[in-house]
Structure 1
Amino acid sequence: MSILNADLHCHSVVSDGTLTPEALAARAAANGVELWSLTDHDEIGGQERAAAAARSHGMKYLTGTEISVTFADHTVHIVGLGFDPRNDDLVQGLSRMRGGRDQRARLMSDGLARAGIHGAYEGALKYVGNPDLISRTHFARFLVESGVCSDTNEVFRRFLTEGKPGFVTHRWAPLRDAVQWITRAGGMAVIAHPARYGFTPNEEYALFLEFKAHGGRGVEVVTGSHTTAEYVTYGETAREFGLASSRGSDFHSPEESRTDLGGLAFLPGELTPVWEVLADRIQ
């Protein structure tokens, strides 16, 4: 059933969102979401709260997370859905992933200081709900509050992308590890917002080929950063590689996100939705 208001990609204060899991659940339910997942970056600490909040609003729930991986010198995000959050491989893998973020953040702050922006590390910490998960988004919010930029998109363009003063490269998990952590925990690995990565056609083909070889089973087709034309493109990719299709807003904040929870187009009817494959994992 592709005509389902499922939102299987969003973030809370447990990573780099601005709302609590409970507030996100309330917002999703108010917007007509029927099946929801909280997918905080490299973290599953909000899952029990999210599942309980979903139930209180009459929504179905799938466990979720979003893992950063390094592939072809790019950062790629892999969403995990429907896993057992108590699985040791997954819990320990995500813990290792979070360990390198503080050092990266301090190096980012050093780079911004050289560009004349001081106190960025301390400023970013004011926006951090989980100190293990300080990220570029927290720095962006500080630079907006400080009046350096008018919005977070401007911050990323001027300071936090490759070649800019606050950008620091980081080696994330290998693609194989992220996919296997999810699948060994009984879940489905999904390539998040594939149009965002700027891959050449050959690089993108290699990503999907390797992803599927490691046990990956899904791709986000309808997501907040895809155009209508990209829905078609990645629907075709899903069919080509025999992958299930997912739908998620990637919502972070009422002030910052282009697409609200539950506000996306429906999946094209000829695709296989991830929730059909994960029917026995829905809570």
Structure 2
Amino acid sequence: MNADLHCHSTVSDGQLTPTEVAARAHAGGVTLWSLTDHDQLGGQREARAAAESLGMAYLPGVEISVTWAGRTIHVVGMNVDPENEALVKGLEATRNGRAARGVAIGEALAAVGIPDCYKGALRYTEDPDMISRTHFARYLVDAGYAKSTSDVFARFLGDGKPGFVGHRWSRLADCMKWIRGAGGEPVIAHPGRYDYTPVEFAALFDEFIQMGGRAIEVVTGSHTPDQYREYADVARRYGFEASRGSDFHGPGEGRIDLGQLPPLPDDLTPVWERWL
């Protein structure tokens, strides 16, 4: 099963429409696909229709921003009902504040000598209320301030950098309630990206399990090959089911393209097994 259960479209911070992402996934050999835009379900109908027209199995998804222990993590809601009222309203509340944060990021970058970034970043999103650091990163690359989007985060937009502006996202408890209430499965997204100590990670995993969580991304475009092995061991230790997804945002961005990830280790239970 070539499953890719984590990617993004222009509905949030991707470069391609849901239909275009579906076509690229299919061309990459994906047989089970999910579009998981940030805090947004607006592309689900188009994504499902495109997937089914290409013969791919489809699971509706969303990537929810969560503040935990003072930092941002992401939880994928897999196989959710996109029409669930509580989930839709919860995501709407989570999105509130993105535009104001965008203005603040622009002001912070202007203070270190990079003017007009907010105006520039707006050119890269279809919805000003969904503006994100990725849109700023694309502008800064195209404007010649950095070589790549990863370079932008390392120099300007990552935690503690000149353009970083914190934001209070949803609580983990609320996120889990929304996903469960919509019939879905919560999945901790790309844990290798989070700057937590071993003690903090243990607390996160324990709290996640106590709230009904039982799945984690292991093989993802946001992990290095060493992290594939590291989080496979975490899945074994905690009894997590394993997920797999490229975290695709656009051609040339990220470590890996749609459908090109290595398989999950044979001894791990894929999160999608229960639905197929």
Report if TM-score (shorter chain) is over 0.5.
Answer: yes
Match of 2:48 among 47, 51, 67: 51
Matching of residue 101 in structure 1 with residue 75 in structure 2: no
Aligned residue type for 1:199:
Y
Q: Is the 8 A contact 2:222 2:254 kept in 1?
A: no
- Correspondence for 1:158: 155
- Correspondence for 2:79: 82
Aligned residue type for 2:76:
V
Q: Post-superposition shift, 1:249?
A: 0.4
What are the residue-to-residue correspondences of 1:74-223 with 2, within 5 Å? 74-223=71-220
Match of 1:26 among 23, 27, 35: 23
Structure 1 vs Structure 2 CA RMSD: 1.0
Number of equivalenced pairs: 276
Q: Post-superposition shift, 1:186?
A: 0.2
Matching of residue 259 in structure 1 with residue 250 in structure 2: no
Q: Is the 8 A contact 1:180 1:215 kept in 2?
A: no
Q: Post-superposition shift, 1:16?
A: 0.4
User: What's the CA shift string for 1:54-94, capped at 9, x where partnerless?
Assistant: 00111000001101111111210100110111111100000
Q: TM-score, normalised by structure 2?
A: 0.97
Distance 1:207 1:126 in 2: 37
Q: Post-superposition shift, 1:131?
A: 2.1
Distance 1:271 1:278 in 2: 16
Matching of residue 233 in structure 1 with residue 240 in structure 2: no
Q: Post-superposition shift, 1:114?
A: 0.7
Distance 1:51 1:103 in 2: 32
Q: Post-superposition shift, 1:129?
A: 2.1
- Correspondence for 2:245: 248
Moved over 6 A (4+): none
Could you tell me the percent identity over the aligned residues? Answer: 58
Aligned residue type for 2:149:
T
Q: Is the 8 A contact 1:244 1:277 kept in 2?
A: no
Distance 1:258 1:22 in 2: 22
Distance 1:235 1:151 in 2: 29
Q: Post-superposition shift, 1:174?
A: 0.8
- Correspondence for 2:2: 5
Higher relative contact order (CA 8 A, sep 6+): 1
Q: Post-superposition shift, 1:202?
A: 0.7
Q: Post-superposition shift, 1:98?
A: 0.7
User: What's the CA shift string for 1:161-184, capped at 9, x where partnerless?
Assistant: 122221101111111111111011
Aligned residue type for 1:70:
T
- Correspondence for 1:271: 268
List alignment gaps of at least 5 residues for structure 2.
Answer: none
User: What's the CA shift string for 1:228-249, capped at 9, x where partnerless?
Assistant: 3322222222222222110000
Structure 2 counterpart SS, 1:68 = strand
Distance 1:57 1:129 in 2: 26
Distance 1:234 1:157 in 2: 23
- Correspondence for 2:37: 40
Moved more, 118-127 or 159-168: 159-168
Q: Post-superposition shift, 1:151?
A: 1.5
Structure 1 counterpart SS, 2:265 = coil
Distance 1:86 1:137 in 2: 27
